[in-house]
Amino acid sequence: MEIKDKLFNKYSYDVQVADETIRDYINLRPSVIPHTFGRVGKRKLRVQKNVVELLVNKLMRGGTGEKLGGKLIRTHGKLQGKKTRVIAIVEKAFDSIQEKQKRNPIEMLVKAIENSSPREDVTRVEYGGVRYQVAVDVSPKRRVDMALRNISLAAIISSFDKKATLAEALANEITLAANGDVNSYAIKRKDEVERIARSAR
């Protein structure tokens, strides 16, 4: 099957999702530019957004000042609301992946999501005034969201006050996660969440 529309007119969307549980939540509908211009507004229709656009949206963080891993993360408004700038960063990251790995960056992104999406998490329940942490299964949509969030946070943390650009950090994190490398921040977070869930069973 020939796909005419390629991402940035370079990368084919002809990618197979190996994980059946999240296959319906990874949208690979062909689009040259990953931007729906807000046309998908309803919550139940968000799965119709292209997976690359979901990554772009996760990278558009504001300066919340939230501490992650002992580091204060602030983007100083550089990414918030500037979607075209973030799309250009993602394109540079994908070009870097293609140049170094000689593989389709969309395929690498899908593999990274599959490898870094946790299957179990914990939630708090209250019985008789006492709170407990209970292990629960993670829904497929939340699995994809958590994986994309951790990949984007890893890129922001790795480029924060460092010589590496955000595009370089994003390319590196996607490559590590796609290869199942334990040095990947997203995979470390997945392992940590699942370890806590196992102890709460």
Q: What is the pLDDT of residues 145-197, one digit of tens each?
A: 999 999 998 888 888 777 888 899 999 999 999 999 999 999 999 999 999 99
Please state, in angstroms and rounded to a whole number, the distance separating the CA atoms of residues 95 and 165.
14
SS3 (DSSP) at 188: helix
SS3 (DSSP) at 184: coil
Residue type at position 190: K
pLDDT at residue 96 in the model: 95
Q: Taking the domains of the chain in order of start, what are their residue ranges?
A: 23-199
8: phi > 0 → left, psi -120 to 50 → alpha, else beta; which?
left
Is the predicted pLDDT of residue 3 greater than 50, yes or no?
A: no
Q: What is the DSSP letter of 77?
A: T
**Could you count the other beta carbons within 10 Å of the beta carbon of residue 42?**
7
pLDDT at residue 89 in the model: 92
Question: Among 3.40.50.2300, 1.10.455.10, 3.30.70.890, 1.20.810.10, what is the CATH number of 23-199?
Answer: 1.10.455.10
Residue 175 and residue 160 in contact, taking contact as beta carbons nearer than 8 Å:
no
Nearest to 83 by CA among 64, 122, 115, 55: 55
Beta strand residue intervals within the chain, DSSP E: 67-68, 71-72, 120-127, 130-137
pLDDT at residue 42 in the model: 57
Is the predicted pLDDT of residue 126 greater than 90, yes or no?
A: no
CA quadruple 9, 43, 113, 93: dihedral sign: positive
Mean pLDDT of 103-116: 95
- Convert the pLDDT of each residue in 26-75 to its tens digit: 989 888 888 877 665 555 555 678 899 999 988 887 655 455 555 556 66
- Whole-structure pTM value: 0.86
How many residues in the chain? Answer: 201
pLDDT at residue 2 in the model: 45
